[in-house]
Amino acid sequence: MFKEVHVDDIVSRAGAPQIVTLLAYYRSLSMDGALPSYADFNPERLTEHASNLAVVEPIGIGDYLYIYYGRTIFETSGVEMLGSKVSQWKSEVGAFFCQAYDRAIAELRPIYTVHRAHHAIRVHLWERLVLPVRAEDGSLRLVVFNKPREYLDDLLRAVLDEGVLGLRCIRTADGRIEDAMVVTANQRAADIIGCTAENLLDHRILDVIPDLRGTKTWARYLEVVETRQPQRFELSLHYRDQPKWFDVKAVPLGDGFILSIADITNLKNACRELEVKNLDLAKANTMLGEEVRRREALEGELRRLADVDVLTGVATRRAFMEATQRAITLASERRPLAVIAVEIDHFKMI
């Protein structure tokens, strides 16, 4: 049975936002170190969460009695625990619940758990927040928020979106892998390969896909089996006369391997379109930079032409006055200033 128990980083681990909300509320009421009151967590008060809440109180040693059991928990799990003891649940789940409750009582702090329950047909994983509180008479109670974290329907849908193949190696007398027998395959895998599931099962993979023999892809599969190390890579194929991209995961299993194949063509095409747009943007940016530099050079030349007489190369009256003003400003800071005047009026006669 899969199970996890955590007391730290509950917020980051939780899948249901209600767990984060309840935990924040709980901590706000236990700022002084004392346990929050059961009155603050009574399902009659927490009406928004009531259908997902269960309340248990300790009875004896290592056992607990359900004094409240939310309607949604009952409808989802198919089990009614109101008025029952946890010890009546003769399974790994019952023992796991008792262990989690014992820890919450012993440590007097919230406990977050994730477990797989086989009694709830549609639910793959449950997540729970166990909150110790103090009743009016001073006794301890546990308020437990329960919510499915993963439904089997969702899990199966995710699996069926990928092609899955299970293969067992066929070896020669000297132990060399010469082929692999398909021992399990789903319809998605058959669609990707281009055949029916019946034509895959119990057939040699190199008979079904003869072009696979001697390729780098086949060598990778053999490496997975020999090294016992999983591999993941992208594969480009022509699928129904169209180029397709697939994400391939190969995991060792016994004397064979499991293949998981997902179509990532749309993602690849989107990435390529983004790359093209980025290249276009880079080109446009380069052209813009060149245009800016050209304009700056032109503006500089225009300023030079405005400040210099074209015929003589001497500064114009405006440029002279601006230079003089700058020199006078510097002279006011106790720097020397000299002005030399040269008469070139007869230059016109040349």
Structural domain that includes position 24: 3-155
Q: Identify the domain boundary among 243, 263, 283.
A: 263
Note whether 86 and 58 are within 8 A (CB): no
265-307 and 317-331 helices, crossing angle to 10° = 90
**Residue 49 · residue 145 · CB < 8 Å:** yes
173 and 235 housed in the same domain? yes
Question: Do residue 271 and residue 324 come from a single domain?
Answer: no
Q: Are residues 189 and 244 in the same domain?
A: yes
Q: Are residues 200 and 60 in the same domain?
A: no
Number of folded domains that form the chain? 4
Q: How many residues are present in the chain? A: 350
Of residues 18 and 175, more confidently modeled: 18
Domain check: are 12 and 136 in the same one? yes
Q: How confident is the model at residue 328 (pLDDT cuts 50, 70, 90)?
A: confident
What pLDDT is recorded for position 316?
79
Residue 142, pLDDT score: 97
Q: What is the mean pLDDT of residues 141-158?
A: 72
Question: Which candidate, 102, 148, 108, 104, places its Cα nearest to that of 128?
Answer: 148
Residue 243 pairs in a beta bridge with 238
Question: 111 and 29, same structural domain?
Answer: yes
Distance CA 227, CA 327 (A): 82
pLDDT of residue 103: 95
Q: Which residue has the higher pLDDT, 133 or 3?
A: 133
Tokens coding 134: 């103090």
Higher pLDDT, 171 or 39: 39
Q: What is the mean pLDDT of the chain?
A: 85
Residues 45 and 125 in one domain: yes
Where among 133, 155, 177 does a domain terminate? 155
The per-residue pLDDT for range 239-274, each reduced to its tens digit, is 667 788 889 999 998 888 989 888 888 888 888 888
| pLDDT tens digits, one per residue of 167-188 | 989 988 888 899 999 888 888 8
Per-position DSSP letters for 243-295, written without gaps between them? EEEEEEEEEE-SSEEEEEEEE-HHHHHHHHHHHHHHHHHHHHHHHHHHHHHHH
Q: Check whether residue 12 and residue 101 sit in a common domain.
A: yes
Measured CA to CA, the distance from residue 285 to residue 64 in angstroms comes to 70
Same domain, 239 and 321: no
pLDDT, tens digit, 9 for 90 and up, residues 284-310: 889 999 999 999 988 888 887 777 877
What's the DSSP call for residue 204?
B
Q: Which residue has the higher pLDDT, 55 or 198?
A: 55
CA-based nearest residue to 83, from 60, 62, 66, 63: 66
Q: Can you name the residues that pair with 184 across neighbouring β-strands?
A: 166
Q: Is the pLDDT of residue 157 over 80?
A: no
Which is more confidently placed, 187 or 347?
A: 187
Q: Quick one: 226 and 327 in the same domain?
A: no
Kindly tell me if the per-residue pLDDT of 152 is higher than 50: no
Whether residues 255 and 338 fall in one domain: no
Domain boundary among 239, 263, 287: 263
The verdict on 137 and 229 lying in the same domain is: no
Q: How many CB atoms lie under 10 A from the CB of residue 281?
A: 10
Q: Please provide the DSSP assignment of 13-78 as one string.
A: H--SHHHHHHHHHHHHT-TTSSPPBHHHH-TTT-TTTGGGEEEEEE-SSS-EEEEEE-HHHHHHH-
**Tell me, what CATH number does 174's domain have?**
3.30.450.20
